[in-house]
């Protein structure tokens, strides 16, 4: 297959996607609009490189950020996953060849590439590794984090709930009996709704949001396509807990959770989670719930399994300066993934 490869920088970058919707394993994190939001709100101070390759009507784009000493994925902690965008009539073999052409072009400009977060189970991580290896890079995959997910498997909420830890079920029953809070779910973003969310976040235990415009953009963009579910627990004085969820295909994604620290005794965050999980399972009838990256202990009570989040580090062996970091990565790989 002959491919015309392209290496585009921000001034003439184009995004390629024949479905600006769900991509990469049923999530809305591998699509043009998502990458545009990241570039605008989180990486405006750094060059964005849209590395691409075409063959006839088929195309692939790998969105990257130029950090000077390396290229990294156009992704951060708001991203549940990362991967290339594909368009046109091509299959797995064609995808692999387009990625190989991209990887070959990247070696002419850079000598190190790091891609995270990648998922093992959707095959993208291994496809990228093989493509970079075939293009002459040393390409190494390492486990970096956990991603907690719940596979509903046809259960209703009552069945799911009986399988939660006893301490969690007891806490929800005890705190919920007080009738201290009521719950609501918003599907659109108004200034009033967003002020309620922001007030909860400011009163929570969390550090200041580094990119507040990105969080609002996530909510507004999801609302525009009918995917937003912004949950609130309401006390006597107003909103005391808030959670941003989106529905991507048949998967519900939990983006943000927060509660007013002054309400700790009433556990509004836990009660809101109970309400949101019940709504997603019994009303929205999602097939999976995804808690994003990070192995936070509280996620284990709500989810059924953890899957590894991988990082692909690629080194140009023609540069002696790359040998030592490649060796260190290989050692890390052996420690994290024995056998």
**How far apart (Å, rounded) are the C-alpha atoms in residues 58 and 270?**
47
Say whether both 24 and 69 belong to one domain. yes
Say whether both 162 and 270 belong to one domain. yes
- 293 located within any domain: no
Say whether both 22 and 101 belong to one domain. yes
**Strand 71-73 with 112-119, pairing:** parallel
Q: Which of 37-41, 202-206, 287-291, 334-338 has the lowest mean pLDDT?
A: 334-338
Instruction: Provide, rounded to the nearest whole percent, the portion of the chain with pLDDT above 90.
Output: 76
C-beta separation of 110 from 69 below 8 A: no
Task: Give the domain extent around 184.
Answer: 153-286
Say whether both 246 and 121 belong to one domain. no
Say whether both 165 and 181 belong to one domain. yes
- 294 located within any domain: no
Residue 19: predicted pLDDT = 36
Q: Which of 17-31, 58-72, 313-327 has the lowest mean pLDDT?
A: 17-31
Residue 284 has pLDDT above 70, yes or no: yes
Total Cβ atoms within 10 A of residue 229: 23
Residue 320 has pLDDT above 80, yes or no: no
N-to-C CA span, the chain? 36
Enter the pTM of the model: 0.88
Domain count, the chain: 2
Say whether both 141 and 273 belong to one domain. no
- 54 located within any domain: yes
Say whether both 120 and 176 belong to one domain. no
With a CB cutoff of 8 Å and minimum separation 6, the contacts of 83 are 23, 24, 30, 118, 122, 124, 128
Range 174-188 average pLDDT:
96
- 182 Rama class: left (phi>0) / alpha (psi -120 to 50) / beta: beta
- 295 located within any domain: no
What is the domain-level CATH number for residue 183?
3.40.630.30
Q: Which of 17-31, 141-155, 164-178, 270-284 has the lowest mean pLDDT?
A: 17-31
pLDDT (tens digit per residue) in 88-128: 876 667 899 999 999 999 998 899 999 999 998 888 999 99
Say whether both 106 and 192 belong to one domain. no
Mean pLDDT for the chain overall: 89
Say whether both 270 and 315 belong to one domain. no
Of 206, 179, 214, the residue nearest 41 (C-alpha): 214
Say whether both 196 and 125 belong to one domain. no
- 300 located within any domain: no
Residue 294: predicted pLDDT = 80
Range 281-308 average pLDDT:
93
Residue 10 has pLDDT above 70, yes or no: no
- 298 located within any domain: no
- 82 located within any domain: yes
DSSP state at residue 279? I
pLDDT (tens digit per residue) in 68-90: 989 999 999 999 999 999 998 76
pLDDT (tens digit per residue) in 192-203: 999 999 999 999
Say whether both 215 and 282 belong to one domain. yes
Say whether both 279 and 322 belong to one domain. no
- 297 located within any domain: no
């Amino acid at each position: 297959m002959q491919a015309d490869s392209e290496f585009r920088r921000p001034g003439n970058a184009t995004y390629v996607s024949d479905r600006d919707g769900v991509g990469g394993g049923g999530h809305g994190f591998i699509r043009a609009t998502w990458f545009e939001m990241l570039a605008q709100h989180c990486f405006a101070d750094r060059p964005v490189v849209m590395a691409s390759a075409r063959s006839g009507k088929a195309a692939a784009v790998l969105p990257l950020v130029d950090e000077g000493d390396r290229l990294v994925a156009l992704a951060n902690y708001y991203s549940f996953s990362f991967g290339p965008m594909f368009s046109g009539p091509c299959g797995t073999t064609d995808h692999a060849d387009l990625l190989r052409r991209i990887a070959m072009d990247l070696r002419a400009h850079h000598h190190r590439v790091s891609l995270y977060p990648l998922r093992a189970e959707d095959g993208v991580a291994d496809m990228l590794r093989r493509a970079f290896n075939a293009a002459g890079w040393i390409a190494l995959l390492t486990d970096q984090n956990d991603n907690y997910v719940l596979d509903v498997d046809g259960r209703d909420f009552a069945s799911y709930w009986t399988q939660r830890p006893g301490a969690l079920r007891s806490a929800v029953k005890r705190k919920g009996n007080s009738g201290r809070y009521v719950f609501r779910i918003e599907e659109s973003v108004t200034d009033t709704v967003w002020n309620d969310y922001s007030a909860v976040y400011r009163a929570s235990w969390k550090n200041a949001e580094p990119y507040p415009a990105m969080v609002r953009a996530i909510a507004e963009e999801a609302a525009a396509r009918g995917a937003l579910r912004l949950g609130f627990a309401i006390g006597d004085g107003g909103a005391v807990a808030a959670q941003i969820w989106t529905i991507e295909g048949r998967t519900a994604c939990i983006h943000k959770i927060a509660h007013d620290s002054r309400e700790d005794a009433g556990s509004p965050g836990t009660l809101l989670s109970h309400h949101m999980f019940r709504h997603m399972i019994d009303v929205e009838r999602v097939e999976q719930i995804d808690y994003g990256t990070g192995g936070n202990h509280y996620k284990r009570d709500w989810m059924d399994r953890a899957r590894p989040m991988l990082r692909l580090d690629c080194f140009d062996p023609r540069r002696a300066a790359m040998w030592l970091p490649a060796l260190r990565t290989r050692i890390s790989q052996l420690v994290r993934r024995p056998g």
